[in-house]
Amino acid sequence: MEQNKDIIVKAENLSVHFPVKGGNPFNRKYVKAVSDVSLEIHRGETFGLVGESGCGKSTFANALLGILKPTDGKVIFEGQDLNALKPKQFKELRRNMQMIFQDPYSSLNPRFDLLEIIGEPMVIRGGYTPQEIEERVVEMLELVGLSREDLHRYPSDFSGGQRQRIGIARAIILNPSFLVCDEPVSALDVSVHAQILNLLDDIQKKSGLTYLFISHNLAVVKSICDHMAVMYLGKVMECGDTKKIYENTLHPYTKALLSAVLDIDVDNPRERIILQGDIPSPINPPAGCRFCQRCPNAMDICAKCEPKLVEIEPDHKIACHLYKECRPE
Ligand code: SF4
């Protein structure tokens, strides 16, 4: 297979559906968490994935990491199809993909000290002496702004921001090339958001690490992401270059999300778009455009026919019937 070395990971028509428990076994229903999503993430960039809770962001990320098996489609990481790998090959490749979690309180084992928590991936991998592990853990502690004195302290001795630093140190100790950051600052005090984001930025500059940054905070995504995708009910509504999407927002859903971001231009305030209703059930999503029940611009065609995700300008795609390019021929 020809490999574009610039692309570290890509999803090709990826779908993840979960069977609903109970009910009629002859008419099994499925939660369509992710449906036919194709995205590419370039080496060394930060890619933002945004959308409301329950839109499929975390399920998509888990499928990219091989934690969830896709119902359909493929994940290609470093040129290799994850599903086609043998378990041993997958385990080896998986070390290059790590994750930091939203909640630094529950993601660290309270009975382990920092040497055990941060060094655990090296212990699992094997082949290192205790001294090598300790030296590498100290190196990681210093990289994330902690010190050798913290080696034998426990998570309860640290603040939320420091615990997230510990989670980052653990995630990067094996030198991964791809890191999923799942809402890494949303559980933290606002005063430490910038510190954690700056730390991630510093690490990326030093190591060339690629980030998938999952967030519902569009202001943060604007400031740190090179590319982004907006998801709604398991589908991509708009994606591409972050600057282009913010300067020329095209999709009604993206416009509504952006209108809710705190406006600092008091002379020229943005019009707030209030979406009516809730996200429909992913068990029975609308037949046409998934956003049609809440869209202020919905037309007849929207309920009947699904718009295609089409490039409207270079590096900027949308799926919306307001643009004739997205309508089927
Ligand atoms: Fe709204 Fe129709 Fe565009 Fe969907 S396709 S976002 S319903 S205008």
Bridge partners, residue 37, by sequence: 14
Residue 234 falls in which region: left (phi positive, over 0), alpha (psi -120 to 50) or beta: left
- Provide the β-strand partners of residue 18: 31
- pLDDT of 271 over the 80 cut: no
Burial of 312 (0-12, 13-18, 19+ CB in 10 A): middle
d(CA 140, CA 102): 20
pLDDT at 120: 96
Which of 231, 293, 299 to probe ligand 1 with, by most ligand atoms within 8 A of CB? 299
Atom of ligand 1 nearest to the CA of 326: 5
Residue 268's pLDDT band (cuts 50, 70, 90): low
- Tell me the CA–centroid distance for residue 233 and ligand 1, in Å: 13
197-216: pLDDT as tens digits: 999 999 999 999 999 999 98
Query: What does the alpha-carbon distance between residue 293 and residue 300 come to, in Å, rounded to a whole number?
Result: 11
Q: Name which of 11, 4, 9, 46 is nearest 204 in CA terms.
A: 46
Cβ < 6 A, ligand 1 pocket? 252, 289, 291-292, 295, 297-299, 302, 307, 320-322
The average pLDDT across 236-243 equals 97
264 pLDDT band, cuts 50/70/90, is low
β-sheet bridge partners, residue 181: 100, 213
**pLDDT tier, 82 (very low <50, low <70, confident <90, very high otherwise):** very high
pLDDT tens readout for residues 158-191:
999 999 999 999 999 999 999 999 998 887 888 8
Q: How far is the CA of 64 from the centre of ligand 1 (A)?
A: 28
Q: What are the respective helix, strand and coil percentages of the chain, to the nearest 5? A: 35, 20, 45
Burial 240-251 (b: 16+ CB within 10 A, else e): bbbebbeeebbb
Residue for token digits 């004195």?
149
3-class DSSP assignment, residue 88:
helix
**Element housing 194 (H / E):** helix 190-207
Query: Is the per-residue pLDDT at 2 higher than 60?
Result: no
